[in-house]
Structure 1
Amino acid sequence: MIKKLLIPFLLIITAGCQNRSLDEVGLITDKAMVVSAHPLASSVGNEIMLRGGNAVDAAIAVQFALAVVYPDAGNIGGGGFLVLRQQDGSVDALDYREEAPGDAHRDMYLNEEGEVIEDLSVKGHLAAGVPGTVDGMVQLHEKYGTMPWEELVQPAVLLAANGFPLTAKEAEKLNENQDDFITYSTRRPEFILKDNWEEGDTLRIPDLAKTLARIRDQGRAGFYEGATAQYIVDEMKRGGGIISKEDLANYRAIWREPLTAKVGEHNVISMPPPSSGGIALIQLLTISEDYPVDEWGIKTTETAHFMIEAEKRVYADRAKHLGDPDFIDVPVEGLLEEAYIKRRMRDFSMDSDTDSEEVYAGKPAAYEGAQTTHYSIVDPMGNAISVTTTLNTNFGALVFVDGAGFLLNNEMDDFSAKPGYPNTYGLIGGEANAIAPGKRMLSSMTPTILEKDGDLYMVVGSMGGSTIITTVYQIILNVIAHDLPMQGAVNAGRFHHQWEPDWVLSELGALGPGTGLQLWLKGHKIAPNPRGIGRAAGILVLPDGRMEGGADPRGDDAAAGF
């Protein structure tokens, strides 16, 4: 009887229509492209490049613009990662991830019985890590920027001061979170409160305009010192948070060496720890080399079954081995060793699923040596930047800093509150990701750049918490294995497995007719996600040198360029 009930359910969730064409081609431009989560932010980045700025200048302007027009993830109260490839082929990576305050400790979210206190690491002041975005943008500008800093921040100042029209999706999200804004902010954020926001309503954030003006005029000091820092500390004191003036003054973004790996005919450039994204993505793409995914085709049982099984093994490695490399020895070389990666699939069977309880982290060679947003940019000179930035879940800790007009992150939830205990995204963590003062929490953000034959080929990344890695993986496969255009690759339905919990999360229509049923018969358990998985921004360099943008239809994402 249970089987009879499940079969029609599986057919419905896997064969539902998304109305997203796999053949759709995105915006084509000759010289420059920016793809971001909001049309106004994309327009700001495009305008910077039209005025002669490079990809870095545009990225800084987009980051601050998103902090205004996309407040659920764009931020100055959070952090992120970026990967940069210059026109000469040189690469760099910047870690401006949040870090644990000085008074943080490994058991700070446990009660007297040693059990995790629900929501303490997710909502409210104690959930916030020390923000890194502003310092990250300052350091990025100092090293690679060409236009005056003031000109890059000013568009965001004007958007916050003059206001901007809400999209239907943003109005809906603001309405859904009104009660939480009141509950978790110590003083009512009147500027965001309204009985019913509607598409086209103008949102003005005057306090944020003043905060951005201080950043514009004073640079780093306009956020980590002076009035803004005092607003943050006062908010912490009122709400029981622990970020101090010393934490703010001591924060520094870190330049790191990007991970690079040759996979087939492509060179993959991605983010190293404390992001898990680069390692996991390279592992997944390396595993895929040994299987005829191109012959099996998109949405087929063979392709989906193989990808799910590969994802289980990679996420098991993530849980055990990855954390902040400034605090633990992460076995990066061992995890990326080709022989090790391919050994992980030796117990894989095309005939049946492997129960997650039977999948364990591997033993690599020893160390030697929810809500996010992504944007991708290529400038007329051929410089490319892939940036993923976040508050963690939607609107972060749901705390507005009174007087400063911005939201605080809830990135402390990305630590392991307790080894083996899942975070908001169901991700299991271990000792490697335990809380410690000054430590950076593990992330799934996966800003990535691909080269082909030594030339720039693709810039891609996504939002989506634990699903970021598999979203980027699927988009890349959609292009290189299934020959989809960039927009079609972003449009395509997505599914996801992260080892624990042992479920395949699937968008409606992500799996072909009958595929869900066949996967179920192999032992896979499928959970529908009608709201969508990830929101990606991709740019593909075409054979003739032009560029195609892929803006995600799951949101208000938009491509702009010339």
Structure 2
Amino acid sequence: MKSRFYSFVLLALLACTTSTPTASVTPANTLAAPLPDSEPSLITAQAMVVSAHPEASRIGLEVLQKGGNAYDAAVAVQFALAVALPTAGNLGGGGFFLYRGNEGSIGALDFREMAPSAASRDMYLDKQGNVITDLSTAGHLASGVPGTVAGMITVHQKLGKLPWTELVQPAVELARRGVVLTSKEAAGLNRTRPDFIKYNPKHTPAYVRPDGDTRPWQASDTIRYPDLARTLERIRDKGWAGFYQGQTAKLIVAEMQRGGGIITEQDLLRYQPKWRAPLRGSYRGYDLIAMPPPSSGGVALLQMLQMLEPYDLRAAGWHSPLAVHYITEAERRVYADRATYLGDPDFGKVPVAQLTDPTYVKNRMSTLENNGRATPSSEVQAGAGLPVYESDQTTHYNIVDAMGNAVSCTTTLNGSYGSKVVVAGAGFLLNNEMDDFSVKAGAPNYYGLVGGTANAIEPGKRMLSSMTPTIVTQGGKLFMVVGTPGGSTIITSVLQTIIHVLDYGMTMQQAVSAPRLHHQWLPDQIDAEENALLPAARDTLQRRGYKINPRSAWGRVDAIRVLPDGHLEGGADPRGDDKAMGY
């Protein structure tokens, strides 16, 4: 019956499809912004690591230099970020790992967090069915079962080369020696200090100065993490059992009981990462490898690139009203689909093939206004005919080794510093990923995203994500690895970075540094970084029905491109402390 239903759906879509118009060429578009200036890209001959913190990039590079492969370096970078980047690097979170071997093999590991066994659909609602403020975003009840440690163990078992202990030890040493704060890190810790105190009333985490010292953190201060170092030592020595069993597991459960959380020892024992089949797509002669659900990123990225391929974005001009119109209308339609259809594929059929079917995608853009006017989000719903099934702080790193193996990995606690809960005696932060479920159908989450029943809370289920680790190839050869943090903006930031290179010919660093725009269906507005639009372009878009929302910088895109001569070109986002290193 199901196969007949899908056939009927596709036939219906074929019947209602109209041709997609092509863009008119505007050779001298005075409303287009000039291509942005940026620092020169780092170019190296053999291998490269780009991550959100210099210490993590350094550790990854050292692993490559001592003979490790990209997968070894990824493990070392992940654990280093758990020490050096507490706002997003983690042991208590999860993520998605995408790889491409030098011989063309590909794989996608889902180490996303899971809902505890005691979780329920309405656990964040009051008796009247209203969302209880902050319950899913902060504190002990906001945390899903962590997947990061299991994910790294699984990567190493399948793909690693160097001994496990050698990959974890650098993070142990970093935690004991301490991390010298940058100005951004000091500001983040100072801003979050009240929450650290509020959600950790029984102990003082390392992120707060001890003994009542209220001095703010300063750039160049050093923070040491003795509890975290001991946790990392258990992971180094015992692997999976060093986190999901034994002392660390007992500390996690004790923390849950102390603060009203629901993660149990059985939840920890049951957690397993999952290898999933990567998604494949194409754009202007390039092939893309992307993450499948429960990441929404791969589906959404492939949809948007298909929608945009008929239009000559280069001729329209970078961030011109015409180009912004095309990109925004594609984003608007894709985010409407995301809210309705996407969720954990282990808890119901997710119609990936239908959502990325060229006929369906073409039909979604058939309602585009040729005059450049906005289509109000109130008039844009999810695409008709597909079945609905019941059932901003992240970090990213890219690695290419001397053999040509490539890693694109996005990992997260969700919000900045996750749930703000630090496991007493273990020294690491827990995630607030439960907010990535649809706490209530139609209610916006931390990032303003709405969702439906496909992403409702169920025990053991993985929450929907926007993480979009991506690998691009050309002619069977590696061309680019890219990804970013940024909550709901992740997908559009990756989209723009790819377009910046393929359509506008930017260097890798230019593409990463360029001011960004973002639209996610609801709320119905274009978020715009400073200098993203010329004043005349902004005025034109507003006259055409677009609401422009000025916003501070978002995302931390990191990317590596393979140049025609085989050298590697890195882009590290200046919005953070990101660093590209290589040899």
Task: Report the TM-score when normalising by structure 2.
Answer: 0.92
Equivalent-residue separation in structure 2 for 1:185 and 1:76 (angstroms):
18
Name the counterpart of 1:556: 577
Name the counterpart of 2:167: 152
Name the counterpart of 1:536: 557
Residue 131 of structure 2 corresponds to residue 116 of structure 1 = yes
Per-residue deviation, 1:262 = 2.3
Where does 1:37-76 land on structure 2 (aligned, <5 Å)? 37-76=52-91
Letter of the structure 2 residue corresponding to residue 377 of structure 1: I
Q: CA RMSD in A?
A: 1.5
Residue 339 of structure 2 corresponds to residue 324 of structure 1 = no
| Cα pair 2:322 2:372 within 8 Å, conserved | no
| Cα pair 2:205 2:424 within 8 Å, conserved | no
Deviations 1:416-439 (A, max 9, x none): 011001000000100000000000
Deviations 1:507-552 (A, max 9, x none): 001123411111111111111112x121110001001000100000
Per-residue deviation, 1:22 = 3.5
Find the partner of 2:359 among 319, 339, 343: 339
Residue 510 of structure 2 corresponds to residue 510 of structure 1 = no
Name the counterpart of 1:4: none
Residue 567 of structure 2 corresponds to residue 546 of structure 1 = yes
Find the partner of 2:499 among 469, 472, 477: 477
Equivalent-residue separation in structure 1 for 2:459 and 2:193 (angstroms):
32
Residue 223 of structure 2 corresponds to residue 203 of structure 1 = yes
Equivalent-residue separation in structure 2 for 1:470 and 1:342 (angstroms):
19
Per-residue deviation, 1:351 = 2.7
SS at match of 1:150: helix
Deviations 1:128-162 (A, max 9, x none): 00000000000000000000000000010001011
Deviations 1:301-346 (A, max 9, x none): 1111111111000000000000000001100100110111111111
Find the partner of 2:293 among 273, 290, 299: 273
Name the counterpart of 1:412: 434
Equivalent-residue separation in structure 1 for 2:200 and 2:388 (angstroms):
43
Equivalent-residue separation in structure 1 for 2:516 and 2:282 (angstroms):
25
The 3 A distance-change label for structure 1 pair 247 and 47 is: same
Equivalent-residue separation in structure 1 for 2:507 and 2:37 (angstroms):
8
| Cα pair 2:45 2:567 within 8 Å, conserved | yes
Where does 1:51-450 land on structure 2 (aligned, <5 Å)? 51-194=66-209, 195-349=215-369, 350-363=371-384, 370-450=392-472
Letter of the structure 1 residue corresponding to residue 336 of structure 2: A
| Cα pair 2:196 2:205 within 8 Å, conserved | no
| Cα pair 2:156 2:164 within 8 Å, conserved | yes
Per-residue deviation, 1:272 = 0.1
Uncovered stretches (5+) of structure 2, i.e. residues with no partner: 1-30, 210-214
Deviations 1:391-446 (A, max 9, x none): 00000000000000000000000000110010000001000000000000000000
SS at match of 1:527: strand
Per-residue deviation, 1:21 = 4.3
Per-residue deviation, 1:216 = 0.3
Letter of the structure 1 residue corresponding to residue 516 of structure 2: R
| Cα pair 1:83 1:385 within 8 Å, conserved | yes
SS at match of 2:451: coil
SS at match of 2:569: strand
Letter of the structure 1 residue corresponding to residue 577 of structure 2: D
| Cα pair 1:334 1:367 within 8 Å, conserved | no
Task: Report the TM-score when normalising by structure 1.
Answer: 0.95
Per-residue deviation, 1:25 = 3.0
Per-residue deviation, 1:82 = 1.2
Moved more, 354-363 or 187-196: 187-196
Name the counterpart of 1:34: 49
| Cα pair 1:398 1:408 within 8 Å, conserved | yes
Equivalent-residue separation in structure 1 for 2:123 and 2:114 (angstroms):
15
SS at match of 1:303: helix
Equivalent-residue separation in structure 1 for 2:387 and 2:123 (angstroms):
31
Percent identity between matched residues is 56
Equivalent-residue separation in structure 2 for 1:304 and 1:116 (angstroms):
35
SS at match of 1:35: strand
Equivalent-residue separation in structure 1 for 2:222 and 2:339 (angstroms):
43
Name the counterpart of 1:12: none
| Cα pair 1:316 1:359 within 8 Å, conserved | yes
Name the counterpart of 1:453: 475
| Cα pair 1:334 1:366 within 8 Å, conserved | no
Per-residue deviation, 1:366 = 6.0
Deviations 1:56-88 (A, max 9, x none): 000000000000000000000000001100001
Per-residue deviation, 1:365 = 5.5
The 3 A distance-change label for structure 1 pair 87 and 364 is: farther
Equivalent-residue separation in structure 2 for 1:147 and 1:182 (angstroms):
40
SS at match of 1:449: strand
Name the counterpart of 2:18: none
Per-residue deviation, 1:187 = 2.3
Equivalent-residue separation in structure 2 for 1:238 and 1:64 (angstroms):
27
Moved more, 507-516 or 59-68: 507-516
Uncovered stretches (5+) of structure 1, i.e. residues with no partner: 1-14
The alignment of Structure 1 onto Structure 2 pairs a total of residues equal to 544
Equivalent-residue separation in structure 1 for 2:58 and 2:260 (angstroms):
39
Equivalent-residue separation in structure 2 for 1:351 and 1:178 (angstroms):
46
SS at match of 2:40: coil
Per-residue deviation, 1:164 = 1.7
